[in-house]
Structure 1
Amino acid sequence: MVETAQGKTAARRADAQRSIAAILQAAVEALSRNPEASVSEIAKIAGVGRVTVYGHFPNRGDLVDAALAHAIEQGEVSLDDVDLTGDPREALTRLIDSSWQLVDRSRSLLQAAQSVLPPSRIRALHASPAERVQKLVERGRDEGVFRTDLPTEWLVGVMHSVMHHAADEINADRLAADQAAGYIAATVLAAFSPISSPSAEPRS
């Protein structure tokens, strides 16, 4: 059976998609272990040549950008299973715990991204996770358990900053990874609590 030009094109596209998927997964794996992992190391893990990597990602910065986006997208799938119903403070604690597990696994990848990407791009890549937090914060504000004197976007940014600060502290050996989720929850819940009420404490 003679293969048509259209069929060949479709096969090439499928090969390219498989190659990109392998490269992205290899990049996430390599950069999560070592933020300075080279394109050559990533190519080796992916089972392709450096030329193939550069054919899809013109430079290392583009590859790091795509790897972080891929890791966040994978993380979003697991966060879909987090129960965000009930008391907003308890729901936020659950979300922080699950989100931190993802951040902790990709601390080195985030470090790599921070070295080559501007803060605005890193924030843009976290837009989807931020939206999840924003909806929960807005519900908490409506129910009177989260403060309303500051914009929702500011509160979401505070949580984002606290989580990333925790990652920096662990990288600097000033915080144990197993303590981070509790520290983050305590800090964020205190920051989110209405001024007129006692700061809520995270449940153990």
Structure 2
Amino acid sequence: MKSSPPRNRRADARRSRAAILDAATQVLNVDPDAGLETIAGAAGVTRPTIYAHFPSREQLLLAVVERITNEAVAAMDDIALDADTATDTLLRMIDASAQVTERYPVLLKMISAQPVSAEADRDRHLPVTDRIGRVIERGRQAGEFDDRLPVDWLVASTMALGHTASTEQDAGRLPAAVARDALRTSLLRLLGASDSAGASRRSQPAKQSK
């Protein structure tokens, strides 16, 4: 049985949307000032097609952020959450997320410079903070992490330390390996974890998601 025209149109729309997001991610990571006409050309669609999916440039940028977040989350989910210690798992998840975000330095720098409310920023990071929180809670229950500080505080501090490591690396003040080691050491101290916990995977590359 042949697919109905509405179903075909929906499939075409999904492909167009995916092509636009792929093109926007690639183009804006090279030239953050690129216009919609350039993005449309890279996506193989017309400018009106972009507006049909994203009524404004701001909405397109939000969709790009969501796309990168989903990519980072998929990489984190590729880490078996119950395979190793909570310490080891947390460090591997952070490495996996960093490997994704490091692919888009220009684009993410532009996005981070955009004004956003605290609520919107929290919602943007929620998929990541939720996963970090679950691992920290597991570590507390297993006795790996100090339980005297609130989980929400530890999650927020973990995110802040990650941003600091990224900022120092991007600014050229710390080499990548030194930034990663500083982040690891700071996290272990924050969580009250032993420096030997998870040491077998110190700074090892995370498994790439497919």
Category of TM-score, reference length = shorter chain: 0.7 to 0.9
Alignment of 1:192 onto 2:187: no
Give the unaligned 5+ runs of structure 2. Answer: 203-210
Letter in 2 for 1:98: A
Contact 2:25–2:64 under 8 Å retained in 1: yes
Per the alignment, residue 170 of structure 2 pairs with: 171
Per the alignment, residue 205 of structure 2 pairs with: none
- The SS at the match of 1:105 is coil
Offset, 1:23: 0.6
d(CA) in 2 for partners of 1:87, 1:78: 18
Per the alignment, residue 39 of structure 1 pairs with: 36
Contact 1:61–1:116 under 8 Å retained in 2: no
d(CA) in 2 for partners of 1:38, 1:72: 23
Over aligned residue pairs, what C-alpha RMSD do you find?
Answer: 2.4
TM-score (norm 1): 0.83
d(CA) in 1 for partners of 2:183, 2:35: 32
Letter in 1 for 2:195: A
Aligned ranges 1:1-150 → 2 under 5 Å:
7-84=4-81, 85-118=83-116, 119-150=118-149
Letter in 2 for 1:200: D
d(CA) in 1 for partners of 2:31, 2:166: 14
| Aligned sequence identity (%) | 34
Q: How many residues align?
A: 196
Contact 1:147–1:192 under 8 Å retained in 2: yes
RCO (CA 8 Å, sep 6+): is it higher in 1 or 2? 2
Contact 1:104–1:177 under 8 Å retained in 2: no
d(CA) in 2 for partners of 1:165, 1:112: 17
Give the unaligned 5+ runs of structure 1. Answer: none
